[in-house]
A and B are shown apart, each in its own frame.
Chain A
Amino acid sequence: MLRIVNGEVYDPINGINGEVQDICVRDGRIVETSEVSGQPSVSATSEVWKTIDATGMVVMPGGVDMHCHIAGAKVNLARKMRPEDHRNDVMPRTPITRSGTGGSVPSTFTTGYRYAAMGYTTAFDAAVPPLAARHAHEEFNDTPVVDKGFFVLMGNNEFIMQRIAAKQHERARDYAAWLLQATKGYAIKLVNPGGVELWKFGGNVHALDDEVTGFGVTPRQIIQTLADVSAELGLPHPVHIHCNNLGIAGNWETTLETMKALDGRRAHLTHIQFHSYGGKPGGLFASKAAELAEYVNAHPNLTVDVGQVMFGDTTSMTGDGPLGYLLYQVTGRKWANVDVETEEGCGIVPIEYKDKSHVHTTQWAIGLEWFLLINDPWRIALTTDHPNGASFMSYPRIIRLLMDREYRREMMKQVHPKALAKTHLPELDREYSLYEIAIITRAGPARLLGLKNKGHLGIGADADITIYDKDDDKEKMFACPRYVIKDGRILVEDGHIREDTYGRTFFVAPAYDPAIEADIREHFDKYYTIRFENYPVQLEHYLPRHEAVACSD
């Protein structure tokens, strides 16, 4: 039972823009303030009410990271591959918290605690190969505090491609629903659709109408089919797309093609910064953020998250296998690749973004251009594609860059001047308000994910609340919330974790025609090396705290 009194509340979903209001919490949810007005601190029914005096503080819903890489096979391979990433950033145990290591790919306990300490209470892993779903759940169970879920990779799924080629759309849909149920995942994810399949023999796709050799389908067909399937299944989050040609100069055309191919279908295009490059392949990047932002502005069926690059050392980890190899060729750094039977792949390469690099400066600027050029903050989310663009720990600095154009100008002085000059960033004066920041870091992502009880502080919402001391230095403000409340319990106070708790895993369970199982079983017998019966994740064992989110009709 908690009362937060006198805080300056930013709750965009409910239209609250800095009004001084009280927030009340009971049994893990936001309740009517009138329920508790006039309540003594210890009531006759011996309910104990804790009061936080939030006078002069900013109160927001807990942060929602809708695209990060924090759990599962690819993340763990990156951790094991990079001991040097951890050694300088250790987290000792405390009487309450487990120990761990940090860097760009922190260990699981550290991941949860650090998100929490930064005021984030929900995080979604963006890319899990279905065969290793169990692994992602195991890591989630060792990731404290945050509520979570993951997106299921399907864009290179051989069963789906076969169904598309055979023009069996309903079967593709039934399979996708079955797969979501089997993995206890949340949404359909496409990564370089068609390309990763070809990478399994060393190839790739380069255009939406390239044929995925051996399957007789194109990326365009995969994209359209799975966008339709997501809508037909009524999934709370639309198809989530990592477009073909990520990171290649000139790829903006592929991105625009993809947007056009969607043709009004709802879709979320992720880490859009990496897909906004003009120029010629093999040459320097130019920014096409303005052109693409204009298209997104004009097409409300599309939403994006940025995938902001920040300077420093980090780790690229992507389901885009051929991209991983390209990064190895470009950087010469160590490279891991895992091709997963019939389903997906991944590539991992450490990467350092340098402010004196022409290419990296362009990337950094493009991300900021996106933030500043999209008109509707509800359709753009703050992400770094952690850790690909930067660690999630850089979110506060990004917030400062968006809210404080003087600071932005200071940073612009340090980057590659010619590269910067070729972008629109120097002309963009816009500054984000706290309200808009609350949209792109919590309200918007919650809505985009279809999580009705997250990202806001209305009655019935999950009591995930972050309280900040005001500070002119917005990075400082957002890096160290004063209080972080999760499910109504004060978990973080002055940067210290007070309780070691674990959140819920969200998943969807769309219906499907059970007749599909015979086809799937045959597919398993032919192409997998595990039994169909052993594939689905056991709910009670792997999701000890879970919540199914309903699909709409």
Chain B
Amino acid sequence: MPEGKLVLITGRSTKQGTGISNGKYLAEYQEATTVLGLSQADMARHGLRDGDTVRLISRYGEATVKCRSEDLPDGMAFMAFGSTINQLVGDETYASGMPDTKGLEIELEKTPA
């Protein structure tokens, strides 16, 4: 993994799942799908604290999200499925129908508070 890049995993989470039912415009879902998880070491490397805002950049797009420390391997970021993270996911499916939903390479920039 090149310096400064992260592997992004997107997936389900409990609050994303309950948020789908309770309402996508309520805080529960919004928070669940706009907060990026990073390892403690990666947070430190980027000088981040829980709740800081970061800009994520992939080949396909950008998104601005909050971040927090989670139990993740270094070099990996996790965020729950949602329209925010889908800004970063490309449309190429390599004739499979399935886009690169997991394992996307992204860059992260701390944004001013």
A and B directly contacting (CB within 8 A): no
